[in-house]
């Protein structure tokens, strides 16, 4: 009996999930290797590398003027990892150098996700989208302080797109993101903004995919779920306090958008 015979027809093919396994393996190998080399600052880039590898396995690496947002994500993840690695090697310990590099990476990533407009007219048309993607990525990069938070954010997005079921590879890409975050956990060091920014850009691009493709109300609430958890989860956790504070805070912050998404999807 093959797995395909028991796999629900409405789910993506089992083979489509190979990107998650590749992301987990790449992130885990990088984090462990760099930790053994006593470079925990660079070991924190394991999740960014896992994202690049997982998304490449899923979609390939189209570089000839990709038009669809999904086609832009693998190259975004790869370039984000390369830029963060370069910053980690060149600007380590230089606060202003790291800040300037992070700002350039944020602007370039948002520009790429917005369609890489070159002409002035195209740039004006894409300006609102570019600013929105840049703002979402900036907020996420400040709150993604560990691979655990990244895993929660991608898991929430996976659950949200599973509820909405938009056309496209969004579920398998979110699964690869969650797997990459889990693989990055052995790094053993908190994330800097430089380490978090490639992951934040990837999360913003992934969340924006169904919104730009269809733009229905459930797509908006689905895309908001991980960012609501990142922005409100820590504050709610501190408000609740105690050992259960983090679990309750993050569950409420991320669960409410999921519940709204489910209700909207049931009553289109």
* CA-wise closest residue to 204 among 101, 82, 111: 111
pTM: predicted TM-score of the whole model, two decimal places: 0.89
CA distance 200 to 157: 13
One pLDDT digit (tens) per residue for the chain, 268 residues: 333 443 444 455 655 678 899 999 999 999 999 999 988 889 999 999 999 999 998 888 776 566 778 888 999 999 999 999 998 888 766 777 778 888 899 999 999 888 888 888 888 888 898 999 999 999 999 989 889 999 999 999 999 999 988 888 899 999 999 999 999 999 888 888 889 999 999 999 999 999 988 888 989 999 999 999 998 888 888 887 777 777 888 888 888 988 999 999 887 6
Residue 242 in any domain: the answer is no
- Structure letter (DSSP) for residue 190: P
Residue 249 in any domain: the answer is no
Q: What is the pLDDT of residue 178?
A: 95
Residue 4 in any domain: the answer is no
- The total number of structural domains that make up the chain: 1
* Cα-based torsion angle of the residue sequence 216, 68, 56, 91 in order, rounded to the nearest 10 degrees: -90
Residue 61 in any domain: the answer is yes
Residue 149 in any domain: the answer is yes
| Structural domain harbouring 91 | 15-209
Q: What is the pLDDT of residue 95?
A: 75
Q: Are 186 and 31 in contact (CB under 8 A)?
A: yes
Residue 2 in any domain: the answer is no
Record the tokens describing residue 162, joined without a space.
Answer: 């599973």
* CA-wise closest residue to 92 among 35, 144, 40: 40
Residue 261 in any domain: the answer is no
């Amino acid at each position: 009996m093959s797995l395909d015979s028991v796999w629900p027809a409405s789910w993506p093919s089992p083979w489509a999930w190979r990107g998650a396994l590749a992301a987990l393996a790449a992130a885990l190998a990088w984090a462990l290797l760099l930790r053994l080399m006593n470079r925990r600052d660079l070991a924190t880039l394991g999740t960014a590398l896992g994202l690049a590898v997982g998304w490449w396995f899923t979609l390939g690496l189209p570089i000839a003027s990709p038009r669809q947002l999904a086609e832009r994500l693998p190259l975004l993840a790869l370039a984000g990892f390369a830029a963060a690695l370069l910053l980690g090697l060149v600007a380590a310990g230089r606060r202003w150098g790291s800040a300037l590099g992070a700002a350039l990476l944020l602007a370039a990533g948002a520009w790429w996700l917005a369609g890489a407009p070159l002409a002035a007219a195209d740039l004006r048309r894409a300006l609102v989208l570019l600013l929105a993607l840049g703002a979402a990525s900036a907020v996420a990069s400040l709150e993604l302080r560990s691979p655990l938070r990244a895993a929660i954010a991608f898991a929430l997005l996976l659950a949200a797109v599973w509820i909405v079921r938009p056309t496209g590879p969004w579920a398998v890409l979110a699964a690869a993101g969650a797997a990459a975050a889990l693989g990055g956990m052995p790094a053993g060091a908190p994330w800097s903004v430089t380490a978090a920014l490639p992951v934040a850009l990837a999360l913003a691009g992934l969340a924006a995919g169904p919104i730009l493709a269809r733009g229905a109300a459930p797509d908006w609430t689905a895309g908001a779920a991980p960012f609501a958890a990142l922005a409100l989860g820590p504050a709610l956790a501190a408000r609740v306090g105690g050992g259960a504070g983090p679990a309750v805070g993050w569950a409420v912050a991320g669960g409410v958008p999921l519940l709204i998404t489910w209700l909207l999807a049931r009553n289109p």
